[in-house]
A and B are shown apart, each in its own frame.
Chain A
Amino acid sequence: MGVILEMENICKQFPGVLANDCICFSVKEGEVHALLGENGAGKSTLMNILCGLYKPTSGEIRLEGETVRFNSARDAMERGIGMVHQHFMLIPTMTVTENCLIGDKEGSSIKLDRKEAGRRLKELAERYGMEIDPDAIVGTLSVGEMQRVEIIKALFRGAKILILDEPTAVLTPQEARALFKMIRALTDNQFTVIFISHKLDEVKEISDRVTVLRLGTVVGTYDIDQCSVEELARLMVGRDIHFDAVTRQQPVGDTLLEVNNLSLHREKSNEGKLLEDLTFEVHKGEILGIAGVDGNGQAELVECLTGIRSASSGEALYQGKDLLKLSTRDIMSNDVSHIPQDRQKTGLVMPMTLVENFALQDYYKKDFGKGALMNWIGVEERSAKLIQDFSVKTPSPYELAQNLSGGNQQKVVVAREISRQPKLLIAMHPTRGLDVGAVEYIHNQLIDQRDKGVGIVLVSTEMEEIMRLSDRIIVLYEGRAMGCVRPSETTVEEMGLMMGGRTLDDIRKGSIKETSVEEKMM
């Protein structure tokens, strides 16, 4: 197997972020090469460069030894590189054949030869063990079938190297197995597959070699036979995590929130669950960390707890009420605060002034004006005080939220939510995209709240943040809790394994088994 693709010293600079830092990456013909890494490790950026969507800041791509430059996805396609994105790029009202013909340059430019194309599609599908009806309307297909269409579309246009971006994220286990079979059939026929994933078991199962990325750099490329899943976990999460565990002032208090068997189905109930039987407790004066790779049910959990989405079953008892049965307004007026995951899309109304944004959660209350009218002068005084207390940098309380820097925007959200004096605080990615100073500031605010007896649910994908702040951590994987650990009693490796889909019980049982085997051998 010769090297078919080389990416050398690829750098990609985004405003404020170096997404890829001198990445070298090479793929052999006919192999399945996995690209493993956490969120923000630079996997997607690198692949978007490869398929022509981004241009690298510097670096070089060589295809079969020849240096190439891609100006568009079409250029990359013509050289045989096809990408199957996580979100499908299909037109639901058209047939499979029509979708495959979009952008196809071959054939007559006037007449669309659907019949011929359909015949070729069918042939391709059969050769690689995929079942597909070329005349089916894409919108009627299941998610797994749509993915198959995406793959066939790429093959139809002549792809020799297929990039699959987190292909199993949307699939049921059965569909995933079918996909793996397809991948094997493809590589047997000299196709090359690059497989982006953060799921360790999958990577171990399907790939020949793996390249691990972390924070925009390559950790290394390994033959899969020489790596255990545990090693992969450590490589992926990497870095020694400093968690100078924050010292506690007082012990945790009584139970504040009790979640029992919380489940959330997808719209079509046969497509699996977004959340499955979650059961946990939050105590007064405790920070419960919810860890996991992005998109494993964290957002859905928060939406259920704050009444934005209604759960399929289960209960969330809080002060004698079931949060799952209350409206957002009822929940929020019961001393619950919510720092949402996206300050710009949800937490703030960007074209409004800070004064107006400070009123967002409580404007309907008497303090903000009696009767039907707002008391804006009162809100202004309150805002000025919060701006001072939380040292928000702004020329005036009447500045528009969109004119503030990210850190100051987040301070506005945090100030608003904390000043409501909550008993339960739900914070999702409270420090995402902030600089070190702002992160520190917001962490201290959270710790402060904890010491005041507030129960906090902290959802974050930042390992360090979770390990440093939490009293207990629950790891979510595909909507299920993999285990609940205390930061002082776990290891980076264990966390990585749980984030990759192993349950805590399995890991601990497994390690006991391994040691016992070793003991026997000795």
Chain B
Amino acid sequence: MKVLLSTKMKTQGKAGVKQVIVSFGATVFALALGMLLIYAIGFDPFSAAVAMVDGAFGGKNAFGETLVKMTPLIFTGMSYALASRCGLTNLGMEGQLYMGALAGTATGIYVSGLPAALHLPLTILAGFLGGALWGLIAGALKVRFGASEIITTVMLNTIAISFIDYMVNGPMIEPPGINCQTQPVRSTAQLPNLISGTRAHWGFVIAIVFVVLFWLFLWRSKRGYEVRVAGLNLSAARYSGIHTDKNILLVMFLAGGLAGLAGCNEILGIQIRMIPEISPGYGFDGIAVSLIGNNTPVGIVIGALLFGAFRAGGNRMQIRAKVPNAIVSVVQALVIFAVVASQMLLDKWNEYQMKKINRQESEVA
């Protein structure tokens, strides 16, 4: 047993370490390119970098802000990764996030008389279900009619965002109806502060708990095994008798729920009330986070940290080094390109090495 486990560590550990080094190298390379770009448009790249790092990690407040930005990204990153593991492309995180936020807000406002110990979990559950049911629609359309989830999820985004616009301006508007926002959620449904003096809230802890659940589901549960088999090889899944339709429904439900939690936590921890533009694109950044993290739990947390830091540090960079915030988006794009390209190159390299080894073996034989 011990011997076997150690070989497991060796084979998988070695590959993992290589992957981390290559991804890290690619990120550094992309950041260097970004600095070159800042220099090219006439700013001082070093003061920009210092301002960026300071804004993301310099002190309690800055770090708290990074955690705040990171939390929804962990959820949307997991949402995309989960669907991706099942061979699905979920582009509907933004809409699922909004629906989760709406369901959470409604439960937070209209359910009354419960202690926080009940009201808060109930609200979070509602947030999960709001996103999950929205995701399930795309899953059902795929299973029933063969509609591509890539298209339906994007369409559902538009519907969700418009629907929230309507709800916030109409049925749920805060009386007397001057500002287009809902009334605040009850204090029993709000997420407590995590680090005093910052905006960081317990939503981050919930996110980390869900990362563990995400790992447990995909790599330790039987259903997760089915999902991964179907995602990698549909023909093998049918051969083994795996019910692929059922898994599509389940995965779209869970992925929607994760994105819903991103929105719900943002409401319960930061905004306190529903407003029309609750997400500055957390849903779409989730794709990048998942890509950088290679759909692995730890990778997603690291990817979310990086993108959270960009968002938190970007403001500081604009104020202090006068570099336009838009440059942050460019650097983000560079990071995505570099990391994804490096992973592909790594795969090619491994394949080449394997061929070489096989050739040598056959020559010896």
A-contact bits for B3-34, CB 8 A (1 contact / 0 none): 01001101110000000000000000000000
B1 touches A328 (CB 8 A): no
Which A residue sits closest to B362, measured CB to CB?
A405
- A242: interface (CB < 8 Å): no
- Set of chain A residues within 8 Å of B229, measured between Cβ atoms: 349, 352, 360
Q: How far is the CB of B330 from chain A (nearest CB, A)?
A: 33
Nearest CB in chain A: distance from B355 CB, A: 10
From A328, A360, A374, contact of B220 by CB (8 A): A374
Contact B11–A396 (Cβ < 8 Å): yes
In the complex, the answer to whether B236 meets A346 with C-beta atoms within 8 Å is yes
Interface string of A312-328 (1 = CB under 8 A from B): 00000000000000011
Task: List 17 A-B residue pairs with CB atoms under 8 Å apart, sorted by A's residue number.
Answer: A306-B239, A308-B239, A329-B240, A329-B243, A332-B240, A340-B239, A349-B232, A349-B233, A350-B233, A360-B229, A360-B236, A364-B222, A369-B222, A377-B1, A395-B7, A396-B11, A398-B8
B316 at the interface (CB under 8 A from A): no
Q: Is the CB–CB distance between B12 and A374 below 8 Å?
A: no
Residue pair B236, A347 in contact (C-beta under 8 Å)? yes
Q: How many chain-A residues does the 8 Å CB contact rule pick out?
A: 42
A374 close to B240 (CB less than 8 A): no
B87 to chain A, nearest CB (A): 12
Chain A residues, Cβ within 8 Å of B354? 403
Complex Cα spacing A338 to B239, Å: 9
Chain B positions near chain A (C-beta within 8 angstroms): 1, 4, 7-8, 10-12, 216, 220-223, 225-226, 228-229, 232-233, 235-236, 238-243, 354, 358, 361
> How far does the Cβ of A402 sit from chain B's closest Cβ, in whole Å?
8
Give every chain A residue within 8 A of B236 (Cβ-Cβ): 345-349, 360
Question: A397 at the A/B interface (Cβ < 8 Å)?
Answer: yes
Complex Cα–Cα for A327 and B216 (A): 29
Q: A396-B7, A405-B358 are in contact. Are A372 and B222 (CB under 8 A)?
A: yes
The reply on A359 being an interface residue by CB < 8 A is: yes
A380 on interface, CB distance cutoff 8 Å: yes
A359 / chain B contacts, CB cutoff of 8 Å: 225
Given contacts A328-B240, A338-B239, A398-B8, contact A373 B232 (CB under 8 A): no
B232: chain A residues at CB < 8 Å are 349-352
Given contacts A328-B240, A328-B241, A349-B233, contact A374 B225 (CB under 8 A): yes
Instruction: Kindly supply a per-residue 1/0 record for chain A positions 391-428, scoring 1 wherever the CB is within 8 Å of any chain B CB and 0 otherwise.
Output: 00001111100010100000000000000000000000
A397 to chain B, nearest CB (A): 7
Contact of B223 among A330, A372, A376 (CB under 8 A): A372
Q: Are A308 and B238 neighbours in the complex by a CB distance under 8 Å?
A: yes
Q: CA separation between A338 and B238, bound complex, in Å?
A: 12
A219, CB-defined interface residue at 8 Å: no
- Is the pair B238, A328 in contact by a Cβ cutoff of 8 Å? yes
For residue B216, which residue of chain A has the nearest CB? A373
Cα A154 to Cα B222 in complex, Å, equals 54
Excluding A345-B235, A381-B4, A397-B8, 13 further A-B contacts by CB distance (< 8 Å) are: A308-B238, A330-B241, A345-B236, A346-B233, A346-B239, A349-B236, A351-B232, A361-B240, A377-B1, A380-B8, A396-B4, A398-B8, A403-B354
Q: Which residues of A contact B238 (CB under 8 A)?
A: 308, 328
- Cross-interface CB contact of B7 among A328, A329, A349, A398, cutoff 8 Å: A398
CB-CB under 8 A from A356, the residues of chain B are 225
With A350-B233, A405-B358 as given contacts, are A398 and B11 in contact (CB-CB < 8 Å)? yes
Q: Which residue of A lies closest to B10 (CB)?
A: A396
Q: Give complex CA distance A154, B151 in Å.
A: 38
- Give how many A-B residue pairs fall within 8 Å (CB-CB): 89
B49 to chain A, nearest CB (A): 38
B216 CB contacts on chain A under 8 angstroms:
373
| Bound Cα distance A364, B242 (Å) | 10
A373 to B241, CA, bound (A): 19
Cα–Cα, bound, A340→B238 (Å): 12
State the Cβ distance, A379 to closest chain B Cβ, in Å.
10
Q: How far is the CA of A338 from the CA of B241 in the complex (A)?
A: 12
Given contacts A397-B4, A403-B354, contact A373 B220 (CB under 8 A): yes
Residues of B within 8 A of A377 (CB): 1
The proximity string for A residues 5-20 relative to B, scoring 1 for CB distances below 8 Å and 0 otherwise, is: 0000000000000000
A361 proximity list for chain B (CB < 8 A) = 240
Kindly name the residue among A332, A347, A352, A398 whose own CB sees the greatest number of chain B CB atoms within 10 A: A398
- The docked-state distance in angstroms from the alpha carbon of A109 to that of B18 is 52
Nearest A residue to B6 via CB reads A396
Hey, which chain A residues are within 8 Å of B8, CB to CB?
Answer: 380, 396-398
Q: With a CB–CB cut-off of 8 A, which chain B residues contact A141?
A: none
Tell me if A307 is interfacial: C-beta within 8 Å of chain B.
Answer: yes
* Neighbouring B residues of A350 by C-beta, 8 Å: 232-233
Distance between B98 CB and nearest chain A CB, rounded to angstroms: 31
Q: How far is the CA of A281 from the CA of B235 in the complex (A)?
A: 28
Within 8 A of B (CB), among A410-463: none
Known A-B contacts A307-B241, A327-B241, A396-B8; A346 and B225 likewise in contact (beta carbons under 8 Å): no
Residues on A with beta carbons closer than 8 Å to the beta carbon of B222: 363-364, 368-369, 372-374
Which residues on the A side are within 8 Å of B7 (C-beta)? 395-398
Chain A to chain B: the 6 pairs with minimum beta-carbon distance, closest first: A329-B241, A328-B241, A396-B7, A398-B11, A346-B235, A398-B8
A354 to B83 alpha-carbon distance, docked (Å): 24
Inside 8 A of A351's CB, which chain B residues have their CB?
A: 232
Identify B1's interface contact among A340, A347, A381, A396, CB under 8 A: A381
Expressed in whole angstroms, the Cα–Cα distance for A330 and B1 within the complex equals 33
Closest to B357 in A: A403
Contacts of A363 in B (CB 8 A): 222, 225-226
Instruction: Chain A residues near B11: list those with CB within 8 A.
Output: 395-396, 398-399
Question: A328 and B239: CB pair below 8 A?
Answer: yes
Question: Does A137 count as interface, using CB distance less than 8 angstroms?
Answer: no
* Residues on A with beta carbons closer than 8 Å to the beta carbon of B10: 396
Q: Is A384 located at the chain interface by the 8 A CB criterion?
A: yes
CB distance from B342 to the nearest CB of A (A): 18
Residues of chain A lying within 8 A (CB to CB) of residue B221: 372-374
Determine if A398 and B12 form an interchain contact, defined as CB atoms under 8 angstroms apart. Answer: yes
Contact of B239 with A347 in the complex, beta carbons under 8 Å: yes
Which chain B residues lie closer than 8 Å to A373 at the CB level? 216, 220-222
Complex Cα gap A458–B243 (Å)? 27
B228 proximity list for chain A (CB < 8 A)? 352
A488 to chain B, nearest CB (A): 35
**Chain A neighbourhood of B223, CB < 8 A:** 372
Chain B nearest CB, measured from A2 CB (Å): 47
The smallest beta-carbon distance between B317 and chain A, in angstroms, is 40
The chain B residue with its CB closest to the CB of A333 is B241
Within the complex, the shortest CB–CB distance from B114 to chain A, in Å, comes to 30
Query: Measured between C-beta atoms, what is the minimum distance from A15 to chain B in Å?
Result: 10
- Enumerate chain B residues within 8 angstroms of A308, measured Cβ to Cβ: 238-239
Please name all residues of chain B whose beta carbon is closer than 8 Å to the beta carbon of A345 when the two chains form the complex: 233, 235-236
The residues of A that contact B235 with a CB separation of less than 8 Å are 345-346
Interface centre among A307, A348, A369, A374 (most CB of B within 10 A): A374
* Bound-complex Cα distance A348 to B229 (A): 10
Instruction: Compute how far the CA of A376 lies from the CA of B219 in the bound complex, rounded to whole angstroms.
Output: 9
Chain A residues 260 to 307 lying within 8 A of chain B, measured CB to CB, are: 306-307
**Minimal beta-carbon separation of A436 from chain B (angstroms):** 12
Chain B residues with Cβ below 8 Å from A331 are 241
Q: How far is the CA of A372 from the CA of B220 in the complex (A)?
A: 9
Q: In the complex, which residues of chain A have a beta carbon less than 8 angstroms from the beta carbon of B233?
A: 345-346, 348-350
Q: Which residue of B lies closest to A307 (CB)?
A: B241
Question: In the complex, what residue of chain A is closest to B8 when comparing beta carbons?
Answer: A398
Task: For the complex formed, measure the closest distance between the CB of B2 and the CB atoms of chain A, giving whole angstroms.
Answer: 11
Distance of B9 from chain A, by nearest CB (Å): 9
Q: How far is the CA of A178 from the CA of B144 in the complex (A)?
A: 41
Q: Which residues from A are CB-within-8-Å of B4?
A: 380-381, 384, 396-397
Can you name the residue of chain B whose Cβ is closest to the Cβ of A372?
A: B221
List the A side residues contacting B239 at CB < 8 Å: 306, 308, 328, 338, 340, 346-347, 360
